Amino acid sequence: MVEVWYGIVALMLTLYVVLDGFDLGAGMLHVVVARTDAERRQVLAAIGPYWDGNEVWLIAAGGALFAAFPKAMAAGLSGFYLAIVLLVWCLLLRGISIEFRSHVGDPLWRSFWDTVLALASGLLALFFGAALGNLLRGLPLRPDGWFGLALFTDFTARPPVGILDWYTVLVGTFAMLALAFHGALYLAWRTDGAVRERSLAIARPAAWIAVIAWPLVTWATVAVHPAMFAAFARRPLAWMGLALALAGAIAIAAGLRRGRDLAAFLGSSGFIAGLLIATAASLFPVMLRAVPDASLSITAYAASNDLHGLRVALGWWSLGFPLAIGYLVLLFRLHRGRAAAAREGEGY
């Protein structure tokens, strides 16, 4: 049952990154790919039906952590307090900027909120990537299971560690790049005209840079966490994740070459999902890795709820998850086709 819930949490976090990832990518790029007010409202029309619903997957993943692994969630929330505050502010500013930018017709007002949206979206991608980097590198867990992190220390990945160092910034930058081309490919699929052409012009080099940077980030991860790759060799699910990422990279290249926007976007979804699946499979059962003493790490088995609680939670999840997926499918079905900017006064 512990293994099932570890997989559920990993699945829901992967869904969040893939789904809200295209919102974040579109948000950070919209000031570049859209240059007029009508074009920017076209970008917002493309993500408008989805962005707030996609954020719910993050809340749902947090609820799953609370239900299944309360000790890991408690330690993580307290230790990453500063980072979580920054994330919450960025999430707030992103939502406010989308909702407020068209309330006033003044160009300065709209330009301000467009800039806020781009900055908040880019910082969210960077912070989420840095958070993953912290989990891979390790945390200064004490024997009582708690830890505290400064924003940065000496910028090395050796203890005493902070939230930011060369490795976590590298992973955060890679996450920004991956979500940027993910968002660009989504906009190429869902928009037309100048916005689509500019999105494709960004997606092509960004996708290639991300695929080329992938081995660099992998090498850096081997340097800071060599045991993870020893586990990778023994995990069939990790190999399946790697195969999905490779297939996604091939689909991106083929879709861009043949002008198949949806295929390229699905490829980027597979690429990101595959990387996360391989990572989660390689880390199991460790949820919070301790450095320098790995024996203090918090594992899924040590952090899990009792068996009865896990079974009850699984029953409720089995009811809610299909409904959420059905709603997502219905939403994409209702809003299929290229997005068009709403007329002035009628929305974004």
Domain-located, residue 293: yes
Split at pLDDT 50, 70, 90, the class of 8 is: very high
Q: Is residue 338 part of a domain?
A: no
Dihedral sign, Cα of residue 265, residue 267, residue 272, residue 273: positive
Bridge partner list, 288:
298
Q: How far apart are CA 272 and CA 275, in angstroms?
A: 5
Mean pLDDT of the chain: 89
Confidence check: pLDDT of 229 > 90: no
Question: Which residues form the domain of 230?
Answer: 2-311
pLDDT at 96: 92
pLDDT at 9 over 90: yes
Give the contacts of 340 (CB within 8 A, at least 6 positions apart): 42, 45
3-state SS class at 106: coil
- Cis-peptide into 49, omega within 30 deg: no
Report residue 344's pLDDT band, with 50, 70 and 90 as the boundaries: low
pLDDT digits (tens, 9 = 90+) for 97-153: 998 888 887 889 999 999 999 999 999 999 999 999 999 998 988 888 888 887 777
Q: Does residue 344 contact residue 198 with C-beta atoms inside 8 Å? A: no
Distance of CA 19 to the CA centre of its chain: 8
pLDDT over 90, % of the chain: 53
pLDDT for residue 345 is more than 60: no
Average pLDDT over residues 270-283: 94
Q: Inform me whether the pLDDT recorded for 157 exceeds 80.
A: no
Confidence of residue 201 (pLDDT cuts 50, 70, 90): very high
* CB contact at 8 A, 271 and 18: no
The CB-side HSE value for 54 (13 A sphere, CA atoms) comes to 19
How far is residue 220's CA from residue 69's CA, in Å, rounded to a whole number?
29
334-340 long-range CB contacts below 8 Å, 24 or more apart?
A: 334/49, 335/49, 335/50, 338/190, 338/191, 338/192, 339/42, 339/43, 339/45, 339/46, 339/190, 339/191, 340/42, 340/45
Q: Across-strand partners of 290?
A: 139
Please check whether residue 57 lies inside any domain of the structure: yes
Model confidence at 340: pLDDT above 80: no
| pLDDT tens, residue by residue, 290-306 | 888 888 889 999 888 88
| Burial (CB count <10 Å: 0-12, 13-18, 19+), residue 192 | middle
Q: Looking at the predicted structure, is the pLDDT value of residue 346 above 60?
A: no
Q: What is the DSSP letter of 158?
A: S
221, part of any domain: yes
Residue 205, preceding peptide bond in cis (omega within 30° of 0): no
Residue 304 lies in a domain: yes
In a domain, 239, yes or no: yes
- Given a cut of 70, whether residue 336 has pLDDT beyond it is yes
- The answer to whether 51 and 98 have CB atoms below 8 angstroms apart is yes
- Give the distance, in angstroms, between the CA of residue 154 and the centroid of all CA atoms in the same chain: 27
Instruction: Give the pLDDT mean for 184-196.
Output: 93
Residue 197: per-residue pLDDT? 93
Answer for the pair 181, 203: CB distance below 8 angstroms, yes or no: yes
What stretches of the chain show up as alpha helix (H) in DSSP? 2-33, 37-47, 51-68, 70-79, 81-100, 107-137, 166-190, 193-224, 226-232, 236-258, 261-283, 300-303, 307-334
Helix or strand or coil: residue 45?
Answer: helix
- CA–CA dist 307, 330 (Å, integer): 35
CATH of the domain at 114: 1.20.1630
> Taking a C-beta distance cutoff of 8 angstroms, is the pair 118, 28 a contact?
yes
242-253: pLDDT as tens digits: 999 999 999 999
pLDDT tens across 23-73, in order? 999 999 999 999 888 899 999 999 988 888 888 899 899 999 988 999 988
For residues 136 and 287, the answer to whether their CB atoms sit within 8 Å is: no
Compute the Cα dihedral for 311, 281, 185, 103 and give only its sign.
Answer: positive
Whether residue 331 is contained in a domain is answered as no
Per the DSSP assignment, residues forming a β-bridge with 152 are 164
| HEC letters along 222-237 | HHHCHHHHHHHCCCHH
Query: Is residue 342 a part of any domain in this protein?
Result: no
Query: Does residue 140 have a cis peptide bond before it, meaning omega lies within 30 degrees of 0?
Result: no
Total structural domains within the chain: 1
Q: 196-199 contacts: CB < 8 A, separation 24 or more?
A: 196/261, 198/32, 198/33, 198/34, 199/29, 199/33
